Structure 1
Amino acid sequence: MKRVIFSVLALVLVAAAYPRALPAVGPPINAHPDPPGEHEFYWDDGTMSNFWCWYTGGNYWAVQFDEEKTGGADGYVVRYGAVTYPDWPDSTYQGCNMHTFADESGSPGGSLDSTYLGFTEGGVFQWVEPDSPVLVTGGVFYIAFEQLGTYPDCDSIAVDALAGTHNWTGYGGFWSPTDIFGDFMIRCYWDDEAPEDFQPPYVEDLSPADGAEDVPVNTVIIFHTKDDLSGVDPQTVRFTAEYAPEAHHRFALFLGLGARSPAGAIPGALYIDDSNPNDMVCIFIPDEDLDEGALVICTVGGELADYFGNAMGDDFLWAFSTREQPSVENVTWGRIKALY
């Protein structure tokens, strides 16, 4: 169903993309930040012969790099390159976002990185480095040019004269391989040797947030473990949630409810999405609703480490309190009438 839907969208693109007429063969493009070597990945022949843009921003042109380039090895994307056409469809150079996409079942999956590339001229490769090398695993990945503006206020992607063999287009959340264009002039530098990494992973994006109050008792607990270089080793994630004993018992005694579930560890299951080792999503689902009016303390163990063995060291803690049970007061009919 996905490919059928996208094939219609692709035809709309062809009719609406407005390629400008060019000579059959343009000048060769040979601008590199370093001399071309075995770790510069590309499929284009370096000669611009046409160019395309989407009607709307937020859509993608992408190239797949597979085992023919990587040899099936894991590696790191360390630099992006792309070519736009000079002064078409306009001359303001909005730039684009360059992405690394993971491979999921033979097509682009989640974006591992988004880095802005600001074009200053057209017709030549321009380059930008991500904030940190992007780990790609499995030997297959995609480099994409995300169009930012809507036609005609946008930058176009240049293509060569040959039919593209590794091109993908992404439109409205759908991806499809295509050979109706020349090779997209999108390149990257890839390194099969891990960069030096001395920084430990860290924890961010907490839900519920630290200090949150009146949290529903049926909440799930979410946190992200992140590492900017080598990625988090999922085998090192240790998480506990527990009730704070004093707050829990003090609340129970105040309400006169007597014994409730004992303070201590909260049983549940931890699910880890490790599809992006640089930003792993961890979800803890308690086995049952949390106690009302309880203070919950969450801990990520200090043994959290990246693939280089850099450990976080200290435990990471945060806390939130759950919604209190509404108080109930015994009243008489006489007291109710006294209010009126």
Structure 2
Amino acid sequence: MLTPRQQMILGLVIRQYVAQARPVSSRAIVEAYNLPFSPATVRNEMARLEELGYLTHPHTSAGRVPTDLGYRYFVQRLLGETALSPAEERMIRHQFYQAQREMGQWLRLAASTLARTVRTVSLVTAPRAEQARFRHLELISTRGRLVLLILVLQGGTVQQQMLTLAEPLSQDRLSQTAQRLNDLCTDKTIAEIEAQAHNLPTLEAEVCDLVLEMMRDVESRAIPEVYRDGLTEVLQEPEFTERESAQKLLRLLEEESLLAEVLNEALSPSADGVQVLIGGEGRWEALSHCSMVLARYGIPGTVTGALGVLGPTRMRYGRAISTVRYIADLMTDLVYELFV
């Protein structure tokens, strides 16, 4: 248990280190914040914080830097409530409501706004149905026996596939078949469609089987598309100026399977609010020198996506948390507008 003075000094060391990106000395803390203690007193407290695992010091410096444990204590116990300024919130909200009602544009705007506001790499995934759920079907005659099947799922996923019929059919007949299947299947999951799709006429049964196969294929895709932005800005941070560290970050961002795993586990349906991962939390070695601030957005249990930022552990956590929270709330409102 840290004393109030130790908590204050830990918080000041972290804020100073985040701002200046160099080890923090006891004298610098006293002078920067006009503390009523001597540098020797602060130095003794910093030594104790190092013994407890909250601070460490590089071999070449007398100053201290935070450890992952120190950052975690800061976020959980010392940071307090954070929020963007009303002016920033108005500006961001205006940008989103000026954008076209098109999900791809919103995703790109979310990624660029996160990156610009927090000055880190941003990650945004498109909203996906937690279970594939039927929305709409069209059958379009092309030539002869070939028919284009267009399947739209809740969440906006669109799938297309060619279907070869036993014999040519008119567009009117195809439209009637599509309408009957729309009436049967709208807003239903795979299991719900299977429970009702008994004794269908031959054509409808054939189309329904293909629709179920396409829905299973969508559900089996574990890796969502990830929209990114801000790489140029984060590579200017001192942690990534060396070639080796920059290459590690680039490899991490190219590992979509790893990013999907982190997003899925950190933002499981049971996770509530903004999640902060510091140094990979001992689980993801590739993230050992990075932090992520993440949130889920959308309609819980129906259509959800994820967004967040990734940068060095020396991150402005208050700004990152408030920005991620605000944009997640905006994206949730937009998803409700599209899908409810």
TM-score by length of structure 2 reads 0.23
- The structure carrying a bigger strand percent of its residues is 1
- The structure carrying a bigger helix percent of its residues is 2
TM-score by length of structure 1 reads 0.23
